Amino acid sequence: MEIDGPMMRKSMFFLGFGLWVLLVVALAVEGITVNTSSSGPKVVNIGALLTVNSVIGRSVKPAIIAAVDDVNSDKTILGDTHLNLILHDTNCSGFLGTIEALELMEKNVVAAIGPQSSTIAHIISHVVNELHVPLLSFGATDPTLSALQFPYFLRTTQTDYYQMSAIADIIEHFEWKEVIAIYVDDDYGRNGISSLGDSLAQNRAKITYKAAFTPGASVDRLTEILTAVNLMESRVYVVHVNPDTGIDVFKVAKKLGMMTSGYVWITTEWLPAVLDSSQQINTDTGSDYSDVMTLLQGVVTLRQHTPNSYLKKLFAGKWKNIKLKETASFNTYALYAYDSVWLVARALHALLKSGESITFSSDARLRKADESMLRFSGLRTFNEGPKLLETLLSTNFTGVSGEIRFDREKNLVNPGYDVLNIGGTGVRTIGYWTKSSGLSVDSPDKTYAKKVNSNSSSGTKRLYSVIWPGETSVKPRGWVFPNNGKPLRIGVPYRHSYKEVVTKDVRSPQGVRGYSIDVFEAAVDLLPYPVPREYILYGDGVRNPSYSNLVAAVADNTFDAAVGDVTIITNRTRIVDFTQPYMESGLVIVVPVKKSKTSQWAFLRPFTLEMWLVTGGFFLLVGFVVWILEHRLNQEFRGPPSQQIITILWFSFSTMFFSHRENTVSTLGRFVLLLWLFVVLIINSSYTASLTSILTVQQLTSGIEGIDGMISSNEPIGIQDGSFAYNYLVQELNIAQSRIRSLKDQNDYINALRLGPKRGGVAAIVDELPYVELFMTYTQCEFRIVGREFTKSGWGFAFQRDSPLALDLSTAVLQLSENGELERIHDKWLTTSSCSSKAMETDTNSLSLSSFWGLFLICGIACFISLGIYFWRVLCQYRRFDPDLEETQEIPEPESARRSSRRTLLSTSFKDLIDFYDKKEAEIKEMLKRHKLQGNDHSDSPR
């Protein structure tokens, strides 16, 4: 059968149309919406999840509605596509909020704004993960929501991780080490406080107690919790609760007297949200704004920083047109919610512009659930959800809250907080916090613009002054002793030896006594607060306890502190905190000594034989030199030869006692004598000191003369039982353990040193200087310290790490030192032996020439120079002197003869020269004068 062409074409048309209708019906049955319009869908549903009747909800709801209206009225964003807002109230309930969220997902929403609750966000995140619907939360600040477990959760506000870092920096700034956390016991509260603990640990601070309460706790429960908190040590409280119940915490605190001087209250951003959102707070209880401000005097709080931009001012002006009685103002949550809607709109615009459609499909796994009454088959998967999420994360624009841009961890970039202080009737900004620079008085806008990092802060000032509770500007100490009947547990070493330092005392109310106890009691009396304390003996009193174990007991909380002669060493400072040392200490070496026996010739020992010979030779040399220089001028140095020899000897040795009677008249003679007397002074002083030392010296009976000798020796060494000296000798000086002997008390010290190494004793004892000084008082200088202290340390009081009492007691110890009380206590208990204060003399060596050769060299050079000058002068006189002229004064000689006479000067006999030198200076001058006159007369006669 043939079918003509037109008929065939008509049949094919109807067949194709029918197949198209069947396809559309089939797709409709499967739940897939097809975009048949090239310009995009007419309506796109977005959802909103919030607690409408709450502090946050009353501000967020109108902000979201206003944002949707603004988007729909702006044709440059979605064009003809209309955003349809579907709002569900979570009713501040995790269960009801989850049900509302599931119902919202049934309405084919492409994105959901909210929820404000971190608890609901945790549950709904699992749902949106399966349905591929992005969840943009403006209020869920729980840091754990940023995990990879929740890929479709997108936080459009700041995470509490940054907020807790800011609080930790504030606590570090004011030098507090312990805080108490007061928080609501849900995901929001627990995870936020956990993040706070991590941030504090980085600054060597900690949370000492976590006071948690259930959401919506009664006033009685809050009173019970805060009463227990008030009995604890820390006075720094961090409050991390919901905005709707947070004011109740401060009402109870005010009632319990916890808003007075000495307390510190720091809150998270919930408090500014309460203050910013409404002037009429807790209208159900009748509390107005001024009453609430009275409750919060001195509180420090944080608020997410939003720049004062032009867009924010426009938003504030638009807010005045919103006619809602419960809302008088907006908070930062409203700003982030407003920007969340715009973020979704911009991402949808980019998605549709790229040619994508908005389609949903059913999940086969959910159809199987139709057998139950929950009807999960109504939930559909958003097919373009992954692409929309990717577009959201890459979107970048500036909104009313600032820059909207995400980093690799899906957090908003450039986090910042305002640090606020409530005082009077308003809120004062005292600083800012940013991720890059920490605390600063510069706003985050300037900080991020300058690209300042934490190591190059723009200024040293980090915060302005704060008005604390009690209307005081003085920084609170941040802690007190707990008023719960538990005194400070103080471990005291129960010593067997040196009981003057610390020991048991059954007659004392404290049960202990000693030097260390008196110092500690005097320091505690200087503190401006009471310190209830209980002394607990550590050890059995038979042997000295291990001080390292005592310090470890403080570190593991067996004791709160250790008071006694606890030496501050490196290993101990790693586990506990020490106060300022109240006694200087160091290890020294003690050895036995005996007095040396002196002989009848001991007076010769100060100088060596060589020194004696050279000294005697110089006495003779100087005497001879002075005689030569004075002989022609000084009558006392003239006379018969025997008399002159006696004069030389007498003058030489009388200078030893500065008793010479002969005066020197020549300049050169005085110069030589002056230098020689200086040499004699040095020699006399050295001889006297050396002889004194020889006559009083004590000799060592041990070969150990210092630390080097102790290390190189193989002889046994004694130490005090329980002392840290054992570890120091073995680990630091590498001395064999077999050489070390532990001694219990002073009697063991004496016996071991007297016996010596050959009879089972020790060659030396190594102990701390304060103990050695006490030991010396019992021995009457039978033993001596050799060498110097080879460690530098001190005694201090040990406390648990970061204990605030350690710092206050350090200040008190310094006060005791400055006012002289520390010295008085020392003199009461500890007496310093005169033996220990004397320097130990080993074998005293005679003084040799090497110690004085410089003086002798100078003196010798002076003598030779003086003699050289003197003889040059004498020779010059002798050349001008002619003895023949004295005999033939009437017969003048011709000039040539006189020249011949001078030329024969070299041939003059030594006897003539001596005779010339022996003449007096006055005679020589007179002869030269006559010779000159005669020479002039001959030159004037006719030739």
What are 351-370's pLDDT values in tens digits?
999 988 899 888 766 655 54
Q: CB–CB of 462/431 below 8 Å? A: yes
When pLDDT is cut at 50, 70 and 90, the band that residue 900 belongs to is very low
* pLDDT for res 665: 65
Q: Average pLDDT, stretch 398-416?
A: 93
Maximum Cα–Cα distance across the chain: 193
Q: CB–CB of 141/119 below 8 Å? A: no
Q: Which of 519, 549, 445 is nearest to 815 (CA)?
A: 519
DSSP letter at 731? I
Q: Average pLDDT, stretch 30-39?
A: 43
Residue 4 corresponds to which amino acid? D
Residue 475 corresponds to which amino acid? K
Could you list the beta-strand ranges (E) of 241-284: 264-267
Q: Which residue has the tokens 């080490």?
A: 177
Angstrom distance (rounded) from CA 123 to CA 100: 12
Beta bridge partners of 361: 381
The number of residues making up the chain comes to 943
DSSP letter at 1? -
pLDDT at 659 over 60: no
Q: What percent of the chain has pLDDT over 90?
A: 45
Q: In a 10 Å sphere around its CB, with 0-12 CB exposed, 13-18 middle and 19+ buried, how is residue 549 labelled?
A: exposed
Structure tokens at 774: 């006490």
Q: Which residue has the tokens 């403080």?
A: 554
**Helix pair 853-880, 609-630: axis angle to 10 deg:** 20
pLDDT (tens digit per residue) in 555-614: 999 999 999 999 999 999 999 999 999 999 999 999 887 655 556 676 677 778 888 888
Q: Average pLDDT, stretch 50-76?
A: 91
Query: What is the bridge-based pairing of β-strands 300-304 and 236-240?
Result: unpaired
Non-local (6+) Cβ contacts of 706 within 8 A are 589, 786, 787, 788
* pLDDT for res 457: 45
Ordered DSSP codes for 297-345: TT-EEEEE-----HHHHHHHHHHTT---TT-SS--HHHHHHHHHHHHHH
When pLDDT is cut at 50, 70 and 90, the band that residue 920 belongs to is low
Non-local (6+) Cβ contacts of 81 within 8 A are 40, 41, 42, 43, 44, 348, 352
Q: What angle do CA 331, 336, 339 make, to 5 degrees?
A: 130
Q: Average pLDDT, stretch 151-177?
A: 94
The H-or-E segment that residue 101 falls in is: helix 94-105
Angstrom distance (rounded) from CA 270 to CA 331: 10
Non-local (6+) Cβ contacts of 460 within 8 A are none
Structure tokens at 503: 């020991």
Q: Which of 537-541, 638-642, 725-729 has the lowest mean pLDDT?
A: 638-642
DSSP letter at 431? E
CB atoms within 10 A of CB 257: 9
Q: What percent of the chain has pLDDT over 70?
A: 77
Angstrom distance (rounded) from CA 327 to CA 23: 51
Q: What angle do CA 152, 154, 155 make, to 5 degrees?
A: 155
pLDDT at 615 over 70: yes
Instruction: Tell me the HSE value of 511 on the side-chain side, using a 13 A CA sphere.
Output: 11
When pLDDT is cut at 50, 70 and 90, the band that residue 14 belongs to is very low
Angstrom distance (rounded) from CA 724 to CA 795: 12
Q: Which of 370-379, 412-421, 671-680, 813-822 has the lowest mean pLDDT?
A: 370-379
**Helix pair 55-73, 243-255: axis angle to 10 deg:** 150
**Conformation bin of residue 252: beta by default, left when phi > 0, alpha when psi is -120 to 50:** alpha
Q: Which three-class secondary structure state does DSSP give residue 765? A: strand
pLDDT (tens digit per residue) in 302-345: 999 999 999 999 898 888 777 554 455 788 999 999 999 999 99
Q: Which one of 10-24, 824-838, 861-875 scores highest in mean pLDDT?
A: 861-875
Angstrom distance (rounded) from CA 563 to CA 550: 10
pLDDT at 650 over 50: yes
The Cα-based distances of 497 to 384, 510, 609, 903 in angstroms read: 84, 20, 51, 97
pLDDT at 902 over 50: no
Angstrom distance (rounded) from CA 325 to CA 310: 26
Angstrom distance (rounded) from CA 922 to CA 348: 130
Q: CB–CB of 351/303 below 8 Å? A: no
Q: CB–CB of 398/309 below 8 Å? A: yes
Chain-centroid distance of CA 202 in Å reads: 14
* pLDDT for res 934: 59
Q: Which residue has the tokens 């479709």?
A: 152
Angstrom distance (rounded) from CA 25 to CA 27: 5
**Mean model confidence pLDDT for the chain:** 81
Q: CB–CB of 606/694 below 8 Å? A: yes
Angstrom distance (rounded) from CA 548 to CA 493: 11
Beta bridge partners of 700: 593
Q: What backbone torsions phi and psi does residue 301 show, to the nearest 5 degrees?
A: -140, 170
The Cα-based distances of 261 to 168, 230, 468, 601 in angstroms read: 22, 13, 7, 82
When pLDDT is cut at 50, 70 and 90, the band that residue 635 belongs to is low
The H-or-E segment that residue 590 falls in is: strand 587-595
CB atoms within 10 A of CB 89: 18
Q: CB–CB of 847/608 below 8 Å? A: yes
* pLDDT for res 233: 87
Q: Average pLDDT, stretch 390-417?
A: 93
When pLDDT is cut at 50, 70 and 90, the band that residue 630 belongs to is confident
pLDDT (tens digit per residue) in 758-807: 889 999 999 999 999 888 887 877 888 888 888 888 999 999 988 888 98
pTM above 0.85, yes or no: no
Ordered DSSP codes for 640-651: SHHHHHHHHHHH
Structure tokens at 519: 């110092």
